[in-house]
Amino acid sequence: MASTKYPSAVFDVAAELQTHYGDFNHYNLKNPLDELLFIICSTKTGEASYRSTYRSLKETFPTHHQIAEAPAEYIARPIVSGGLSNQKAKAIRNLLDIIVEKFGEPTLKPLRKMSNEDAEAFLLSLPGVGKKVARCVLMYSLGRQVFPVDTHCWRIARRLGWVRPTHKDKHCAPRDMDRLQSKIPPELRYSLHVNMISLGREICTPSHPRCDECPISALCPKTGVNE
């Protein structure tokens, strides 16, 4: 039964999207350090490209200890086809140094024993890790009921009228992520996140959403679609 704390539209949208897309996990990973490396590989590149660069990274460095001992220029080589390889390699190098210093080895498994707040705070302390990335690691790898707001979730939530941006340029500020997360019941966060990504890639695209084919068209006020 729907809790009165949350708008009923959220439950209806979640149910429709789950029926339509079936909670596809977008290839995310169960090990939190792998998930973090996977997300770094995915920065500013398409799905096929980042899946292949991540595979190549893992083939070159099959263990976390091997990648933790590699210089940035060696890390950059297997991920070159995904673009920004030097930048991504430096980010990986810096993250691993901090993680090893904190936990004594290249692992994020200690996060499993932390509260959501403490684990998120640790992830946010890593260079280049913002709320979206931290919450992806928490949700996909640690099974926490958080709601990472990526570009698809943000666009669709605005069109659904669930949230209004606090910034004039309409980008999603960290406080907007918190506001949106607070409107989604914890038990629906994973499902809504993965299914909104599927919807955003396929139908609710940035410039030409195909509302007539959308499974949640009847539930959507289409806020700002024609702006």
Q: CA angle at residue 139 from 130 to 196, to 5 degrees?
A: 85
Instruction: Give me the least distance between CB of 157 and ligand SF4, in Å please.
Output: 9
DSSP, res 104: S
The one among 32, 78, 106, 209 contacting ligand SF4 by CB under 6 A: 209
Q: Which residues, including other chains, have CB under 8 Å from residue 30's CB and lie 6 or more apart? A: 140, 141
Cα–Cα distance, 203 to 1 (Å, whole number): 29
Distance CA 147, CA 183 (A): 10
Q: How far is CA 74 from CA 59, 93, 107, 185, in A?
A: 13, 10, 20, 43
Q: Do the beta carbons of residue 38 and residue 29 sit within 8 Å?
A: yes
Amino acid at 95: L
If the CB atoms of residues 168 and 208 are measured against ligand SF4, the closer one turns out to be: 208
DSSP state of 141: I
Q: Does 154 bind ligand SF4 (CB under 6 A)?
A: no
Residue with smaller CB distance to ligand SF4, 131 or 159: 159
Size of the site for ligand SF4 (CB under 6 A): 12
Residue 217 contacts ligand SF4 per CB under 6 A: yes
Binding to ligand SF4 by residue 145, rule CB under 6 A?
A: no
Binding segment (CB under 6 A) for ligand SF4, from list 48-56, 135-143, 146-154, 209-217? 209-217
Compute the distance between CA of residue 213 and CA of residue 211 in angstroms, rounded to an integer: 5
Q: Toward ligand SF4, which CB reaches closer, 67 or 196?
A: 196
Q: Which of 156, 172, 177, 197 binds ligand SF4 (CB under 6 A)?
A: 156
**Whether 26 contacts 194, CB under 8 Å:** yes
CB of 17 to ligand SF4, least distance (A): 9
Range list of H helices, the chain: 8-21, 32-41, 47-60, 64-68, 72-76, 85-103, 116-124, 131-136, 142, 151-159, 174-182, 189-202
Q: How many residues does the chain have?
A: 227
Name which position in 204, 206, 226, 227 contacts ligand SF4 (CB under 6 A): 204
* Residue 142 lies near ligand SF4 (rule: CB under 6 A): no
Per-residue binding string, ligand SF4, 158-197, x by CB under 6 A, is -x--------------------------------------
Considering only the stretches 14-22, 40-48, 115-123, 202-210, report the one whose residues sit in contact with ligand SF4 under the rule CB under 6 A. Answer: 202-210
Residue 214 lies near ligand SF4 (rule: CB under 6 A): yes
- Interface residue with ligand SF4, options 9, 70, 114, 211 (CB under 6 A): 211
- Name the site residues for ligand SF4 (rule: CB under 6 A): 156, 159, 203-204, 209, 211, 214, 216-217, 220, 222, 225
